[in-house]
Amino acid sequence: MSMKAIMYHYVRPSDANLPFLKHLHFDDFKLQLDYFENTYGIINQDEFINSLRTGEAVKGVVLTFDDALSCHYDFVYKELKRRNLWGIFYVPTLMYSSDKILDVHRIHILLGMVESQLIYNELINLVTDEMCTDASKIEFKTLTYNTQKNDSYTNLVKRILNYFISYEFRETIIDQLMEKFIPEQNRQRSKFYITEEQILEMQENGMTIGSHTASHPVLSKLNRVDQTKEIINSFSFLEQTCKGLPYKTFCYPYGGFHSFNQDTVNVLNENDCLFSFNVEHRDIVQSDLLNHKQELPRYDCNQFKFGQIRE
Ligand SMILES: [Zn+2]
């Protein structure tokens, strides 16, 4: 019995507006659904919930979609509905109250729209040594004096924004980059994410809506109190938006065992979360279903036929 959960992010046709955005092409997604339906079968909600109760894995694939991206309604949900399939959609929730696209996604928009070398050059102007974390100050200096030729500008931009800059400066720097490079209409939250109405419609049509925290942080970097806030606030937003959730499910931002800790698992258990997904590339087995419900393993779609990003 091989039971597999699959993780997706951007699933959409190519968009001339975002020529560099890494996404699974919608046509490839449909081919992959055909492949999964024919090879493993796709598990429905009742089968999955039942296997969590009994500990018996069932043969098939569970489809999961992270980050509440607008393509999850426009393409994914409509396709799943057409095929009568079940999917779980993990939604970060802070953007619904702030009207701002989350930093993690603003970096995707920047790198998806603009040549990464231009962003890199601008970053080098904006970021000073003082803005860097102590751990990265020397590395940042070296970087600005001699850029390694084998390093792509995309990776450099990501390293500066995700690793070098202290958290307190990061949002302002991203604000400045967005202002400089991204037209107003592409900075709107409502175009980037699924809407609250769509979330409700998706649940009412058989999809599962789960929490992906409020602000999409690396949870293991937060203390227990702040982790609790991230988790509780996002669930209460979703319960309100969906007019009640049949059960709570969660998935860790970024994923992997470094992205959460025992506090996270305890908070999820204390809040009656039924199950949570990690990123760990293996099948779900009986011991996961019985003893590690908050750390269910999940594959990336690119590990299966048709799941690769087009060049
Ligand atoms: Zn995410």
pLDDT tens per residue, range 232-266: 999 999 999 999 999 999 999 999 999 999 999 99
CA–centroid distance, 142 to ligand 1, in Å, is: 31
**Percent of the chain, pLDDT > 90?**
81
**Whether the predicted pLDDT of 141 surpasses 80:** no
CA–centroid distance, 216 to ligand 1, in Å, is: 6
What average pLDDT does range 53-72 have in this prediction?
96
Rounded Cα gap, residues 37 and 31, in angstroms: 10
Model confidence at 119, pLDDT cuts 50, 70, 90, reads very high
**Percent of the chain, pLDDT > 70?**
97
Q: Output the six-digit token pair for 4.
A: 């597999």
CA–centroid distance, 55 to ligand 1, in Å, is: 27
pLDDT at 13: 96
Model confidence at 192, pLDDT cuts 50, 70, 90, reads very high
Domain ranges of the chain: 3-99+192-303, 115-181
E strands in the chain: 3-8, 11-12, 24-25, 60-66, 87-91, 208-211, 248-251, 273-277, 299-300
C-alpha separations of 304 from 85, 234, 268, 299 in Å: 19, 31, 30, 9
If you search the block for the tokens 């400045």, which residue do you land on? Answer: 176
Both ends of the chain: CA-CA distance in Å?
A: 34
pLDDT digits (tens, 9 = 90+) for 197-211: 999 999 999 999 999
Query: How many beta carbons lie within 10 A of that of residue 122, not counting itself?
Result: 18
CB 229 within 8 A of CB 269: no
What average pLDDT does range 277-292 have in this prediction?
97
pLDDT at 159: 87
Q: What is the dihedral of CA 110, 111, 117, 118, to 10 degrees?
A: -20
Mean pLDDT of the chain, nearest integer: 93
What average pLDDT does range 157-173 have in this prediction?
89
C-alpha separations of 22 from 8, 41, 43 in Å: 12, 27, 27
pLDDT at 166: 87
CA–centroid distance, 300 to ligand 1, in Å, is: 12
CA–centroid distance, 151 to ligand 1, in Å, is: 25
Residues near ion ligand 1 (Cβ under 5 Å): 66-67, 253
CATH of domain 3-99+192-303: 3.20.20.370
Q: Which residue has the higher pLDDT, 111 or 139?
A: 111
**Whether the predicted pLDDT of 137 surpasses 80:** no
pLDDT at 167: 83
pLDDT at 139: 75
What average pLDDT does range 73-83 have in this prediction?
98
**Whether the predicted pLDDT of 146 surpasses 60:** no
What average pLDDT does range 93-112 have in this prediction?
93
CA–centroid distance, 254 to ligand 1, in Å, is: 6
If you search the block for the tokens 């492949």, which residue do you land on? Answer: 35
* Strand-pair category, 273-277 with 248-251: parallel
pLDDT at 135: 75
What average pLDDT does range 174-188 have in this prediction?
93
**Whether the predicted pLDDT of 151 surpasses 70:** no
